[in-house]
Amino acid sequence: MVKKNVGGKTTQTALQNVDYSYNIRGWLKAINDVSNIGTVDLFAFKLGYNEGTTPLYNGNIALTQWKTRNTDSSLKTYNYTYDALNRILTATDNTAKFNLTGLSYDKNGNIMGLIRQGQVVETPSLAAGTGYGTMDNLVYAYDSGNKLLKVTDNANDTYGFKDGINTGDDFSYDANGNMLTDANKGITNILYNHLNLPTQVTIAGQNILYIYDAVGTKLRKTVSGITTDYSGNYIYENGTLQFFNTAEGYVEPKGTGWEYVFQYKDHLGNIRLSYADVSTTSTPILQIREENNYYPFGLKHKGYNNAQTFRDHKYGFGNKEEQDELGLGWIDITARNYDPALGRWMNLDPLAELMRRHSPYNYAFDNPVYFIDADGMLPIGKGEETDAEKSLNESIAQQEIQENNEKIKGFFTKFVTEGGEIIADTEDGSNEVFVIKDENVEGFTKDLENVIDKKEDLDPKKNKELGEKHGFNINNILEESGLSAFEKDFDFQMGHSCGFSGSTGACIGAIALGLEGKGGGGASLGREIGKKHKEQGLMNVFDPIFFDGSNFDIKVTSSPSFRPFKLEDANKPVKPLIFLEN
């Protein structure tokens, strides 16, 4: 999409003409133009990849800029830096009042510390440059299971993260890893249902009560005498309709009629600016209802353009509900609750077993400028599809590729069944793929346990012996198949053995069993299908550049979706790394 017209009556022009621009790779570059917002646009936003203080060339976002036609209309800028695992380290803004620095992580991606500049008085003023300082200087402590035990704020205890006066641990958890108490917020107990969703939160003797349907959709919240009912897009308080959502914002009652409120959102879906036409004539008069700007991890800026008109719309970061009743300070992101002051979840990740290299409590792979978690299940990158399996695979694949950009290391020896299911993967520095015959899976598992007990599972030689004892090595099969060099690449074989519609299991069977000579077609299977695809011009299941060598990683999903990724250093020949997500 390059342009959309938003709002306006049928007899009028649109209230806002929103323009989108992209770079040559199709990545979003700008919403409107920050250098020329003019007299009509209310909001403009820019993403910089290889510009800013530290230009980047690996897909990470190096810079964001925004500008609004609000009271403070000056250009705001964030410059970002990252560590070698693409975790954010700093976000420095051009006013120096909203910097996020000092970020450090443990090996699982849990935040160990952060320093946040911001408000240190109740009413700071960016225009006057007063009321700002070190708002948070946080030190985190964990148990061995990634559960946060205590946070110490060595700066301001009143704003940002509010550190209570506690001598012991701040947090406790149930057997499922859900937070039960938070001494800083006065939370003395939380009850959960079978989906690990809170049904009751007790704070200083008062309760927040929740009701859900069978699949976890929130239906009702009751607190301080106010009952909020969630009926799809329609939100009621004590039986009175408050608003209902639309594709471009929401509609709320006004007198005896209705008023449309439109919203600008950034690349992650965060609500940045809301506006409405308050004119009673045919000539529009636009009124900014609310403007929100965020630190990485979702805490809001204070001290400029914070004025609200009409009802406080408690949706912002990720377009999710902000729960500030009784000082709770959570954001309800469907499957879990999130604390933007801490930058982590309060509940275990429901898909934790699919993202083993990440802490089940960390947010957005510690890269909240690129990733957003739309439902509390898994992070997705800017512009990615929301289908869970595809998003997860793309996120994992991107992480894996970026981790290996500096040098080729950390590859996993993969052991898969003939049906394409992963039995085990061992990080031994190699990129071998072994197919374990179905009748040998049990014996393989026992042998692998012995190897692990002897701490030999990081020895590629030992893994190779184990894989070839119970199955066969796909890489060896390709080498010994008699195929030409052009046909030996695994990515080539994946393409023309399965085309656009085969399953993962079929691909493994066609290549491994077929080329081994046990699949009925023998080695000719890959060759013949390959020739046919080439003649029909279908080999662009991969970009043609992939034909001349194995310098690339490939992800295989059960969708199936064949997605090649080029390594930073394509001059180092490596055989493909295969992700099999089922």
> Is residue 383 in a domain?
no
Query: Does 346 share its domain with 483?
Result: no
Q: List, in sequence order, every residue forming a beta bridge with 119; answer none if it has no partner.
A: 132
Domain-ending residue, one of 321, 336, 352: 352
Domain-ending residue, one of 329, 352, 375: 352
> Is residue 262 in a domain?
yes
Residue whose tokens read 């299940």: 377
Estimate the crossing angle of helix 441-453 against helix 460-470, to 10 degrees: 160
Query: Does 346 share its domain with 454?
Result: no
> Is residue 134 in a domain?
yes
Domain-ending residue, one of 331, 352, 373: 352
Query: Does 320 share its domain with 438?
Result: no
Query: Does 315 share its domain with 453?
Result: no
**Do 82 and 88 touch, CB atoms closer than 8 A?**
yes
pLDDT tens digit at each of 582 positions of the chain: 899 999 987 767 899 999 999 987 788 999 999 999 988 999 999 999 999 899 998 889 999 999 999 999 999 999 999 999 999 999 999 999 999 999 999 999 999 999 999 999 999 999 999 999 999 999 999 999 999 999 999 998 789 999 988 889 999 999 999 999 999 999 999 999 999 999 999 999 999 999 999 999 999 999 999 999 999 999 999 999 999 999 899 999 998 999 999 999 999 999 999 999 999 888 899 999 999 999 999 999 999 998 887 788 999 999 999 999 999 999 999 999 999 999 999 999 998 888 888 999 999 999 999 999 999 998 888 655 444 445 545 554 455 444 443 333 345 687 877 666 678 878 777 767 788 887 888 899 889 888 888 888 888 889 989 988 998 776 654 444 444 444 444 444 444 444 433 444 445 444 443 333 333 332 333 344 344 444 444 332 322 222 222 323 333 333 333 333 333 333 333 333 333 332
Query: Does 338 share its domain with 473?
Result: no
Q: Which residues of 292-411 form beta strands (DSSP E)?
A: 321-323, 330-333, 336-339, 344-345, 371-372, 380-381
> Is residue 138 in a domain?
yes
Torsion sign across C-alpha atoms 367, 371, 373, 379: negative
Query: Does 443 share its domain with 334?
Result: no
> Is residue 386 in a domain?
no
> Is residue 361 in a domain?
no
Query: Does 432 share its domain with 315?
Result: no
Query: Does 193 share its domain with 257?
Result: yes
Containing structural domain, residue 474: 404-581
Query: Does 14 share its domain with 157?
Result: yes
Cis peptide before 560 (omega within 30 of 0): yes
Query: Does 348 share its domain with 415?
Result: no
Query: Does 186 share its domain with 282?
Result: yes
Extract the tokens encoding 572: 């180092």
Q: State pTM to two decimals.
A: 0.67
- What is d(CA 78, CA 75) in angstroms, rounded to the nearest whole number? 10
> Is residue 332 in a domain?
yes
CA-wise closest residue to 141 among 177, 169, 104: 169
Query: Does 348 share its domain with 410?
Result: no
> How many folded domains does the chain comprise?
2
> Is residue 357 in a domain?
no
